[in-house]
Chain A
Amino acid sequence: MFNTKHILGAALTATLLSITPVQAEEVIKLATTTSTENSGLLKELLPTFEAQSGYKVQVIATGTGKALALGRQGDVDLVMTHAPAAEAKFVEEGYGSEPRGIMENDFVVLGPKNDPAKIKGSASAEEAFGKIAAAGVPFISRGDDSGTHKKELKIWQAANVKPEFKGYTSVGQGMGKTLLMTNELQGYTLTDRGTYIAYKGKLDLDVDFEGGATLANPYQVILINSAKYPNLNHKGAKALSDWLISAEGQKMINDFKVQGEQLFKATYRQ
């Protein structure tokens, strides 16, 4: 009866019990997009929240698609993403709850300095995209199901262009890597302004098109449905969400600057 297996089992249980963190309650897992992480916004905001609340926030930065998938699987306590349609579905299907718009930034179309497709001065993002497709110059797409990628596909759809033209390059990478590839291939790409500013010094590219309603980029923070996953840190997630829409959180978002430029505009409306 009293064989090695039992002893090993007992030892293992004891070890596991002894290393189980006492403060498991106090970790909040946040799945978010590479843009909030790469730009340094979270590094600016989270320490203040942590100091005030006593929670510790662990950030998992990926594309919006993966962030929502993590939420669906109950692997994180809350998500912060920027793809309104996918987020609406996430809430409708009962995985997410209490979506709150906390801030926005905007997208820009980057391209070579000599603008071979002549998109400068286009009336809309759709028109600019149409010109790029017609010229057959390289367009580098993230192709990774991220919020930015979803936005790009929407613009192609609105421009009535199938993104299959010669020069369309789908790379399946994060924003930073995609910018470097666009620079190497001297093509066009759609990027959020934050990542662009962070990489500006490394790029031989210009903002060839910006502005217009199409390129607005709203961010939401969404809690995970406690009925579906009762064992998550819902209290911590709620505390973080509340702090992000508090006067202080919103002010910190507005005050956050990279290389002297404000990246995000706080947008929470009661």
Chain B
Amino acid sequence: MSQSWFELIQQALGLLFSLDKDLWSIIWVSFGVSLAALLITLIPSMLLGFVLAFKQFPGRHFVLNLVQTLQSIPTVVIGLLVYLLLTRMGPLGDLRWLFTQQGMILGQMLICAPVLIAMSQAAFTSADKRAWETALTLGASLPRAILMVSGELRGPLLLAVIAAFSRIVTEVGCSMMVGGNIEYVTRNIPTAIALETSKGDFAQAIALGLVLLFLAIIMNFALGNLRGKNQVRSH
């Protein structure tokens, strides 16, 4: 190594705290794209999770299995699929979304939707059906009743949201393929780390790694708190 560990960490922290333009642009792209993907998929996914938990319909098992399977597909495969859809020759080629943030958002939506659906379905399944039936017999409208049940399940649902977000904010395969790692446009934390490491410049990679680490710590604490609360409440 031409630089000591200590120097690298120092440089990394320097970049973070000196509000280095390139670094914060990368962080901004990462969070902007991933939050957009999460917010667009959130409500439909949770509704689908709800329907899967509360309603019997033909093909329900198939849908459940499909969602479970999709959860374990590598993100590069999703990336490949979206790439083929968006390429000039592809069916959605006229959108010109390849190598844009829109394309990245689409890819990340496909990655986080299965997680949201599967985890919210599990949460709703664990819910007490009586509360739901009581609310409906007392004349609550359907949306109100759903909101009420969701309120009961705040913890597990939030867990689903955090799990989905952490999956897309850290994935590199799909972002690299569909976004193309364009500076200031589609370069996000994971693709930037891959690039800086391949250039042999570790300071920025470490700074970005620290951001992800910090995020993971916050999320874990949030999760730990939620789990704790849930356990206390169930006694």
Contact = CB atoms under 8 A, between A and B. Distances in A.
Contacts of B181: 171-173
B58 interface: no
Contact of B180 (A66, A73, A171): A171
Nearest to B200: A69
Contacts of A177: 180
Interface string A206-234: 00000000000000000000000000000
B99 interface: yes
A177 B182 CA distance: 12
B225 to A, nearest CB: 38
Contacts of A181: 99, 180
B1 A144 contact: no
A65 B199 contact: yes
A211 B99 CA distance: 31
A182 to B, nearest CB: 10
Contacts of A72: 2
A62 interface: yes
Interface string B120-135: 0000000000000000
A143 B98 CA distance: 19
B2 A144 contact: no
Interface residues of A, number: 21
A210 to B, nearest CB: 25
A264 to B, nearest CB: 24
Contact of A145 (B1, B88, B98, B199): B199
Interface in B88-103: 88, 98-99
A73 B1 CA distance: 5
A172 B1 contact: no
A172 B195 contact: yes
Contact of B182 (A65, A69, A170): A170
B200 A172 contact: no
Interface in B70-103: 87-88, 98-99
A73 B201 CA distance: 13
A177 B180 CA distance: 9
A183 B88 CA distance: 9
B172 to A, nearest CB: 13
Interface in A69-89: 69-70, 72-73
A63 interface: yes
Highest count of chain A CB atoms <10 Å: which of B87, B88, B192, B200 = B200
A185 interface: yes
Contacts of A169: 182-183, 185
A184 interface: yes
A72 B183 CA distance: 27
Nearest to A172: B195
Interface in B166-217: 180-183, 185, 187, 191-192, 195, 198-201
Interface of B: 1-2, 87-88, 98-99, 180-183, 185, 187, 191-192, 195, 198-201
8 contacts: A69-B199, A72-B2, A73-B1, A144-B199, A145-B199, A172-B181, A172-B187, A184-B87
Given A144-B195, A185-B99, 8 more contacts: A63-B198, A69-B2, A69-B199, A145-B201, A169-B182, A170-B182, A173-B181, A184-B88
